[in-house]
Amino acid sequence: GIQVEQSPPDLILQEGANSTLRCNFSDSVNNLQWFHQNPWGQLINLFYIPSGTKQNGRLSATTVATERYSLLYISSSQTTDSGVYFCAGRNTGGFKTIFGAGTRLFVKA
Amino acid sequence: DSGVTQTPKHLITATGQRVTLRCSPRSGDLSVYWYQQSLDQGLQFLIQYYNGEERAKGNILERFSAQQFPDLHSELNLSSLELGDSALYFCASSVSGQSTDTQYFGPGTRLTVL
């Protein structure tokens, strides 16, 4: 099955700073999602982005499927952005969703 | 709110016991997925159902079983519980269960085995 690697594992930001989170996958995926797990444990969909670029407010994501990576950009970070960010994908024709280990983000006020 | 509901939110039980976790998918979704999130294993896919039929199996233990009912809700049964089964269990749903579907996650059930 595919392997999903996320970097960095941990990130501490000052409120207002920008950041880029990276997700590398070992094989072609046709289903790539980014999630935010808030401090209460809830998993929130951020983007479904098998390829291309999408933006939603201060967040944007880009997936370059041919090079097997995806990036999540957080601009003007806020304390409410704290939590763990996961990317997850399925390889073509597969049914198992594989999650990366996550990037733990802490935004300081 | 994703539209996926899970009950109970918290469950505390003892080793050797059996519990049932319940999930109701979003309206219109036919596929349900179960995941386990533990500190040492991260988020792991357990099993997927589509319209009542098992579609895919992941790292699900033999002590665990699941089913999807005609009204599309799903239950995950965990038996002979061990301390290591303590985890957050998520249910997700999607429209058709295809690999291109977006999955929407419920709030999770936190299981503590003492």
| Interchain pair B43, A96: CB under 8 A | no
Closest CA to A28 of A71, A69, A62: A69
What pLDDT is attached to residue A31? 84
Asked if A43 is an interface residue toward chain B (Cβ–Cβ < 8 A), one would say yes
* pLDDT at residue A106, rounded to an integer: 97
Q: What is the pLDDT of residue A103?
A: 97
Q: Do A33 and B45 touch (CB under 8 A)?
A: no
Question: Which residue of chain A has the CA closest to B91?
Answer: A43
- Model confidence at A1: pLDDT above 80: no
pLDDT at residue A49 in the model: 93
Sequence-ordered strand ranges (E) for chain A: 4-7, 10-14, 19-25, 29-37, 43-48, 52-56, 59-64, 69-74, 83-91, 98-99, 103-108
pLDDT of residue B19: 98
pLDDT tens profile A58-82: 999 999 999 999 999 999 999 999 9
* A33: chain B residues, CB-CB within 8 Å: 102-103
pLDDT confidence bin for B99, thresholds 50/70/90: confident
pLDDT in the model for residue B101: 83
Q: How confident is the model at residue B21 (pLDDT cuts 50, 70, 90)?
A: very high
Instruction: Please judge whether B99 and A92 are an interchain contact, meaning their C-beta atoms are less than 8 angstroms apart.
Output: yes
